[in-house]
Amino acid sequence: MSQNRGNRRNHHGRSGGRGGGGGSGTGGGGRRGGRDGQNAGSAVSLDETNPIIQSFRGYARELDAKHDRHERIVKCSRDITIESKRIIFLLHTIDPRKNNDAKVCEEAKQRLENLFRNQFFVIAKELRGQDAYQYARAYTHGMQEFIEAYSFYEYSSGQDISHWHAVQEKLRYKHDATPPVKQESTNEPNDSNTAPVIESSDGQPETESPSATTTDNNQGTLESVCLLQPLDFVLGLGDLSGEIMRKCINGLGSGQVDSCFGHCRFMQDLYRGFLSVSSARSRDFSHKMSTLRQSLVKSENVCYNVTMRGGEAAKWGGGPSDEAFASFVGNANFEAAEEDEGVYF
């Protein structure tokens, strides 16, 4: 490494290189320019005394730290994506005929809470003291998938969809200043003590962002935040439409004809919401919008068929039995859902 040999000359070289820009105060020596190493210039190997080399060593460290952090966040984001997809899959197993909604919702809730406690907490810790927007792209996919799962859970269990402020509050963590270790028990998102904060940031979305920086509440307690961008939230809601379309069609398969209309109405509301957005600076947005429209049209067709032929079906089968429905809802998705019946878990 020849660390020793290099070190002594470091000071001189650097103070020259920075043009006296307040680098290291000790190297008061000569103003050595970049050509300092010219005498030794014949050496092909790296000239460690060269101020350029020295400053670039620093830059390399900084860039590496940044890339590493980015990679770690991406890894977390992947985990979140996978788990979110599984939760969505789980939520699709809700079947009124089996009366399992309470049980499935409970399990989904547990797994969502786990994501809050583990993966998102890791991201929040990585973002502490950083500009969250710098790494926002690293976890945007995980976040969108998560929002999809989370709002689908809320929708499936009959709750209202949360506002993004509420979700953001759940992504706010307090933990000890001691070297960050997972503290599963203490970080339970607690609505009662976060409620006042929600209020203050209400209608003032800007306030939620500076939270990416550290705030020492008392000594020893740090606050980390995993920033949720409203755009990610809205895009997540866009993904939700696809799930609801599936639910709508599955509902038809399981004979829950009435629920189809409810799902369809919700998607219409969602579509209206998307239409109202005037200028989202995102390419994803318009893409989501056209997908949303397709899903909406599909579920509207389901409702149309139910209205149009529902009565006839009752005559054919003496009730909305699966077979009768399969015969008149000529919908590929429906057929698929039908085949999976029973095996679909």
Partner 1 sequence: MQNTVVKGIFDNFNEYLAKEQELRTEIRDIVRDIDQAAKEAAIALQVIHSSISDVPAACATARTHFEVCRAGYVKLAALIPIGQYYRYNDHWHYMTQRIVFLIALTVYLEKGFLVSRDTAAEILGLCVEQQDGFHLDIEDYLMGVLQLASELSRYAVNSVILGDFEKPLTISKFVADLNSGFRLLNLKNDSLRKRFDALKYDVKKIEEIVYDISIRGLRNDGAAATATVAPPPTPTTQETPK
Q: What is the DSSP letter of 331?
A: -
Distance CA 294, CA 120 (A): 32
Distance CA 165, CA 229 (A): 10
**Least distance to partner 1 from the beta carbon of 344, Å?**
26
Q: Is position 35 an interface residue for partner 1 (rule: CB under 8 A)? A: yes
Distance CA 292, CA 274 (A): 9
Q: Is position 40 an interface residue for partner 1 (rule: CB under 8 A)? A: no
DSSP characters over 242-269: HHHHHHHHHHHHTT-HHHHHHHHHHHHH
Site string for partner 1, 14-33 (x = CB under 8 A): --xxxx-xxx-------x-x
243 marked as part of a ligand binding site: yes
Site string for partner 1, 226-265 (x = CB under 8 A): ----x--xx--x---------------------------x
Site for partner 1 (CB under 8 A): which residue of 44, 181, 332, 343?
44
In the bound state with partner 1, the residue whose beta carbon lies nearer, of 186 and 215, is 215
Site string for partner 1, 150-189 (x = CB under 8 A): ----------xx-xx-------------------------
Q: Which residues contact 233 (CB under 8 A, 6 or more apart)?
A: 147, 164, 167
Selection from 274, 278, 304, 305 nearest residue 291 by Cα:
274
- Residues numbered 54 to 113 that lie near partner 1 (CB under 8 A) are 55-57, 59-60, 62-64, 66-67
Distance of CA 231 to the CA centre of its chain: 11
**Least distance to partner 1 from the beta carbon of 268, Å?**
9
Number of residues that bind partner 1 (CB under 8 A): 67
Distance CA 224, CA 126 (A): 9
- Residues numbered 185 to 224 that lie near partner 1 (CB under 8 A) are 203, 205-206, 209-213
Name the segment binding partner 1 (CB under 8 A); options: 126-134, 251-259, 323-331, 332-340: 126-134
Site for partner 1 (CB under 8 A): which residue of 171, 226, 248, 270?
270
Name the segment binding partner 1 (CB under 8 A); options: 2-10, 215-223, 252-260, 273-281: 273-281
Alpha helices in the chain (DSSP H): 3-17, 51-91, 101-117, 119-127, 132-156, 164-170, 191-201, 230-253, 257-276, 283-317, 322-328, 332-340
Strand partners, 223: 174
In the bound state with partner 1, the residue whose beta carbon lies nearer, of 4 and 160, is 160
48 marked as part of a ligand binding site: no
Distance CA 239, CA 77 (A): 17
Distance CA 259, CA 257 (A): 6
Do residues 66 and 127 touch, judged by C-beta distance below 8 A? no
Do residues 260 and 209 touch, judged by C-beta distance below 8 A? no
**Least distance to partner 1 from the beta carbon of 316, Å?**
33
Site for partner 1 (CB under 8 A): which residue of 30, 40, 82, 133?
133
Which chain residues interact with partner 1 by CB under 8 A?
16-19, 21-23, 31, 33-35, 37-38, 41-42, 44, 46-47, 50-53, 55-57, 59-60, 62-64, 66-67, 129-134, 136, 160-161, 163-164, 203, 205-206, 209-213, 230, 233-234, 237, 265-266, 269-270, 272-274, 276-280
Sequence ranges of the binding site: 148, 243
Sequence ranges of the binding site for Mg(2+): 148, 243
